[in-house]
Amino acid sequence: MGMPIRLAEELEINFAIDSLRWYGEAADKLYDELAHLGDNVTAMISRTPLGVVGAILPWNAPAMIGAWKLGPALVAGNSVVLKPAEDASLVCLRIAELALEAGLPEGVLQVVTGDHKAGAALSAHHDVDCITFTGSGEVGRKIMTAAANSNLKRVSLELGGKSANIVFADAPDLAMAADVSVGFMFGNQGQVCEAPTRLLVQRAIRDSFTEEVIKRTRALTIGNPLDLRTDLGPIVNAGQRTQILARMERAEKEGVRFALDGRDAKVPEAGFYLAPSVAIDVDPKSSLAQEEIFGPVLSVLSFDSIEEAIALANGTRYGLGASIWSNNLDNVLYIAKRLVAGNINVNGVTGPVVELPFGGFKESGFGRDRSLHAIDKYSDLKNVVIRTAR
C-alpha cells in the first residue's frame, strides 16, 4: 500500500510479531475467579469465549493491526475470520498460511478477501458473535447498524482521529520536539489514525518552531517505498489521493494558507505520490482543523494559555491521541487529565507497544486493542454457583 520498507520492517512487521508473541505468553496467565458467598456456597466466575470473531482491517497497517486483534481473540478461545482491506490483503493471506504451518487447527483462522460487500456480509452474519473494526467512522456506523439488525453481536470500533500535538515554550528540547512531530506526522504518508495532524504551538515560539518544522519537512525524502532511504512513499490509491487534494482545495477556499504546499513539489510520475504540506494560522473551526485528512497535511494553530490549549485540543469530534511538550510536570498532569484522548505522549513518542491499551473517546470509537484489556472484548463472564452439603 506504499509504506516505506524501512517503516514496514521496523514498525509494521516487528510490532506484529511482538504482539503475537506477547499474547502467546499471556495464554497461561489468565485465571478465573472464586467468590465465597457463604460457608457452603462458592461461585466460580469464568471467562468464556464468544465464538466467532470477525476482524475487519484497514489498509494502512494490516499486519500489525491484524495481530492486535488476532492475538487476544485466539487467546480468549475464539475462532477468527480476518477481512483485510482490498488494498492490502496479501499479508493477511500469508499470516493464515503461517498459522497452519505453526499448527493452528484448520478453520480457527480464516481470511476472507474482497471489497466492502465482504465486510458487510460478515457484520450481518448471524453466526458471527463479535466484530472488531479499525477504519472510518462512516463504515463503523454501518457495522453497528448491521450488528443491531442481526444477532446483536458484540462490536468494538477504532475509528478516526485528529490528534493535537501541543508544544509549549518551556518544552525541554524544541529541536527534538520538531524532529518527533515531523516524523510522527508524516510517517506512512500521514495515513495513520493517531497522526498528530494538528500542531498547537504556544504563540511565543510559534514562528520559530513552525520554521523548524517546515525545514525538517522539506528534508524528507519522497520516492520508491522499496528504497531504504525513502521517508514517504506513494498514497495508497488514486481515490485517497484525490480526496486529500479535494480537502486541500476546500481549505484554500476557506482562507487557509499553505506555507509548504506539497502539490508544487517534484515527485515520481509513476504512482500516487503527494509531497507533505504544512498549513499555518489555521482557523480551529475550519474543515482542515476539524476533519480527518488521512494524508500528509499538517495544520498549525497557536495558543496563549493552558486553558486555550486544552480547549483547542478537545475541540473536535475525535478523541484518539494527543501529545504534550513541556518541562512543567504540574502543567503536564493538569492538561493530561483534561484532554479527551485515549493515548497521550509527553515529551516524546512511544511506538505501538502491545503492553498499552489502544483506542479513543467520542467519535474515535470504543473498545481497546492491545494489552490484557483487549481480551475482555473477546470474552464474557459466566457464574457457576456451587453449594456443598456441609
Residue 384 CB-half CA count within 13 A: 8
How would you classify residue 148: left for phi > 0, otherwise alpha for psi between -120 and 50, otherwise beta? alpha
How many whole angstroms separate alpha carbon 201 and alpha carbon 212? 12
Q: Side chain identity at 390, as an amino acid letter? A: R
Cell readout for 351 is 511506538
Burial class (CB in 10 A: 0-12, 13-18, 19+), 178: buried
Q: Which amino acid is at 144?
A: M
144/157 Cα distance (integer angstroms): 9
Active-site choice (158, 194, 292, 363): 158
Our measurement of the distance from residue 18's CA atom to the centroid of its chain's CA atoms, rounded to an integer in Å, reads 17
Contact 225, 176 (CB under 8 A): no
Spatial contact of 342 and 358, defined as CB atoms under 8 Å apart: yes
The residue annotated as part of the active site, out of 12, 92, 130, 193, is 193
**Is the distance from CB of 166 to CB of 369 less than 8 angstroms?**
no
Distances (CA, A) of 131 to 53, 91, 107: 6, 20, 17
130 is catalytic: no
Give the SS3 label for residue 188: helix
Active-site residue numbers?
A: 158, 193
